[in-house]
Amino acid sequence: MKRAIILAVSLLAACDILPRDPAGTSKRIAERRSFTVALADPTVHEAAQVRTLVHEIERRTRAKAQWRPGAGEVLFQQLDDGTIDLVIGRFSAESPWAMDVAFGPPLSTTGTKDVPLQLKAAMRNGENRWIMTVERASRAISQEARDE
């Protein structure tokens, strides 16, 4: 019986370890109480879902968004090297970045039926705890939009 209790306590303690951020994104955000956001396309700044998503992430992390200017290739390089935590934009399903970054669930879809563009967040690959935080916030925002 004692062994079962010890095993159960050990397993519960291990749950906090996963998912992991090998580069420590979530830990850094918690310590600094800020995260960096950039827009791949400045026109999406006007989209209500972008503001709502960022506010939801701020609420969940108790951190403040720090907006960074930039565009295209440079933003994804900064995302990859950890200078930026989140890039938000409209991306196609055939985005060349799909293998290099983790995309969150779409907040909305525009474009044509043949070439849809999805408004979504991109995060650094492998930072699973951070990715999970953004994905959960994105799903909450997407659900709110569907309920309206």
pLDDT at 62 over 80: yes
Judge whether 29 lies within some domain: yes
Reported confidence tier of residue 44, pLDDT bands at 50, 70, 90:
confident
Judge whether 103 lies within some domain: yes
Between helix 48-61 and helix 128-147 the angle, nearest 10°, is 130
Top pLDDT among 36 and 9 is at 36
User: Mean of the pLDDT values across residues 6-34?
Assistant: 72
Reported confidence tier of residue 146, pLDDT bands at 50, 70, 90:
low
Please choose, from the candidates 49, 31, 30, 29, the residue with its C-alpha nearest in 3D space to the C-alpha of residue 39. Answer: 49
pLDDT at 6 over 80: no
Secondary structure string (H, E, C) spanning 17-63: CCCCCCCCHHHHHHHHCEEEEEECCHHHHHCHHHHHHHHHHHHHHCC
Least confident of 45-54, 64-73, 93-102: 93-102
Judge whether 14 lies within some domain: no
User: Mean of the pLDDT values across residues 129-146?
Assistant: 86
pLDDT at 73 over 70: yes
Q: What CATH number does the domain containing 104 carry?
A: 3.40.190.10
Write the single-letter amino acid at 36. T
Judge whether 4 lies within some domain: no
Domain that holds residue 39: 19-147
Reported confidence tier of residue 14, pLDDT bands at 50, 70, 90:
very low
Domain count, the chain: 1
Residues with Cβ within 8 Å of 91's Cβ and at least 6 positions away in sequence, in order, are 40, 97, 103, 117, 118, 120, 122
Least confident of 3-17, 59-73, 83-97, 102-116: 3-17
Judge whether 7 lies within some domain: no
